[in-house]
Amino acid sequence: MKALQPLGEKYKIFWNLRIERHPGSYDSYSELVNDAIASSPTETMVFLNDRVIPKVSDVEHMLTLLDQGYAAASKWSVAYIAYTKELIREIGWWDERYIGGGFEDDDFVLKLRLHDLAYYESEEGEYDQSWKSPLRPDGGDKCAKSEPWFRSKWRYSDTEVRRVIPDADYKKYEGNLGERNLEIKNSWKDWSHSKIGIMFAERMITHRGGESRTHHFRYPNGFEFRQVTSDF
């Protein structure tokens, strides 16, 4: 976090370090994120995966994007992302049923589309791909458990992606989000203002990046999106 210490000259920061709060593994990446949200006293949050190489300019850019009406703004997909608690009040907690990790990021972006909220998705930051955290639950490698859950929860057709299983209601986090913030909610742009896949192609060329999480509802022409709907 030394690289981000200069931010303290401009912002009041609460450093919520996972390794101090919960040194063991979580059953899912979503549980890790939800625990961070629930234990953070601030409305605005910036999340950094342990492989992110952060820069002050990255964080300030993401915060500026939130001020400009994006509901979420990333510098390396959901591994390096900023949003507010109001977003979670709006779309719900991260789904902890993606055991072992994987596809929770797809779920998150689908919910942004479902709620018609603008997303700035990029891989403009720096991310160390040379290692993975040893704090991983057993049996979750290569999305062995999370992918089947995703395929059960979301159903595809030629015209839409539909949620057929509702999100869970996590009573254990009850009372940790605070009251609704309508000023933030009313500032959000709709999905049509989203900027998607920034720098993803460049990162894939060097085998250092992934695929935009919008690929689940993007038509083959790459420019149009299928509808995302919910039975609930």
Q: Which helix (H) or strand (E) holds 53?
A: strand 52-53
Residue 164 lies in a domain: yes
Residue 103 lies in a domain: yes
Using an 8 Å Cβ cutoff, are 44 and 63 in contact?
Answer: yes
Q: Which pLDDT score is estimated for 206?
A: 64
Residue 134 lies in a domain: no
Residue 45 lies in a domain: yes
Question: Does the pLDDT of residue 26 top 80, yes or no?
Answer: yes
Instruction: Give the integer Cα–Cα distance in Å for 121 and 61.
Output: 12
Residue 132 lies in a domain: no
Residue 18 lies in a domain: no
How does pLDDT run across 76-93, given as a tens digit for each residue? 999 999 999 999 999 999
- The domain that contains 42 carries what CATH number? 3.90.550
Mean pLDDT across the stretch 212-222? 83
Q: Which pLDDT score is estimated for 44?
A: 98
Query: How many structural domains does the chain have?
Result: 1
pLDDT confidence tier of residue 223, bands split at 50, 70 and 90: low
Domain holding 192, by residue range, is 2-13+25-126+144-230
Edge-first strand order for the sheet with 154-156 is 154-156, 160-163, 227-230
How does pLDDT run across 111-129, given as a tens digit for each residue? 999 999 999 999 999 999 8
Four-CA torsion 200, 61, 226, 184, nearest 10 degrees: 160
How does pLDDT run across 175-191, given as a tens digit for each residue? 999 999 999 999 999 99
Contacts 24+ apart (CB under 8 A), 32-37: 33/94, 33/104, 34/93, 34/94, 34/96, 34/170, 34/173, 37/85, 37/88, 37/93, 37/173, 37/176, 37/177
Four-CA torsion 165, 167, 170, 176, nearest 10 degrees: -170
Residue 193 lies in a domain: yes
DSSP SS3 for 196: strand
Both structure tokens of 219:
């038509």
Instruction: Give the integer Cα–Cα distance in Å for 93 and 107.
Output: 11
Residue 136 lies in a domain: no
